[in-house]
Amino acid sequence: MTIDINLNYGYGRLSYREPFLIAKNGTVLLKFNSDYALRDYIIAFASDTGEKYSERLQNTSLVVIPPQFVKAGTLSVELSLIVKEKVVKKWAVEPIIFAEATTNFRGHPEFENIRARLTALESAVNNHTLALSELQEEFGEMNETVTGIDSIVNDPLE
């Protein structure tokens, strides 16, 4: 996601109103639009939890917000333009408000019904498989008995 910021006078104005919806592990870029050439400047970040970070950048108008600052809450940003190792201009950017997307995935009720039916069917199949196995054993025993009786009836002298 890219957030456009217009630098005017002594403040930075967001071109799009917040809160900005962020996703986990998402990269957020700040794009600065200014009449000043941003050849050498310091950008400072401060979160509402008290974390701070600053970095000196050169010849870029795109800045990646450090991942530790991309979380739900308010982020303050300040730019200081440097010329000949002196700060000649400062911009305080409007607070950037981040909100985390809530997904709350829920299955349709039909899925729960299907899952319950599937569980019941699996249980019934297991019961029938067990009953079939018992019938096969019983059939094997009866087959041996019938074969024995048949051999006695057909060949009584053996």
CA–CA distance from 115 to each of 57, 126, 154, 157 (Å)?
56, 17, 57, 63
Average pLDDT score over residue span 133-144: 90
Burial 17-42 (b: 16+ CB within 10 A, else e): eeebebeeeeebebebebeeebeebe
- Domain total of the chain: 2
The domain boundary residue, chosen from 84, 100, 116: 100
Tokens of 113: 């019904």
CA distance 123 to 115: 12
The predicted-structure confidence for 51-74, as pLDDT tens digits, reads as follows: 999 999 999 889 999 988 888 889
Do 114 and 151 fall within a single domain? Answer: yes
Do 48 and 110 fall within a single domain? Answer: no
Of 13-22, 29-38, 114-123, the least confident:
13-22
Paired strand residues for 25: none
Of 1-5, 37-41, 79-83, 103-107, the least confident:
103-107
- Residue 158, pLDDT above cutoff 60: no
DSSP state of 67: G
Do 70 and 131 fall within a single domain? Answer: no
* Confidence label for 78 from pLDDT (cuts 50, 70 and 90): very high
Q: What is the CATH number of the domain that holds 28?
A: 2.60.40
CA distance 127 to 48: 61
* 26 Cβ contact partners less than 8 Å away, ≥ 6 residues apart: 1, 70
Do 62 and 129 fall within a single domain? Answer: no
The domain boundary residue, chosen from 60, 78, 100: 100
Confidence (pTM): 0.60
- Residue 82, pLDDT above cutoff 90: yes
Tokens of 12: 């930075």
Tokens of 126: 């297991």
* 91 Cβ contact partners less than 8 Å away, ≥ 6 residues apart: 7, 10, 11, 12, 78, 79
Domain limits for position 20:
2-100
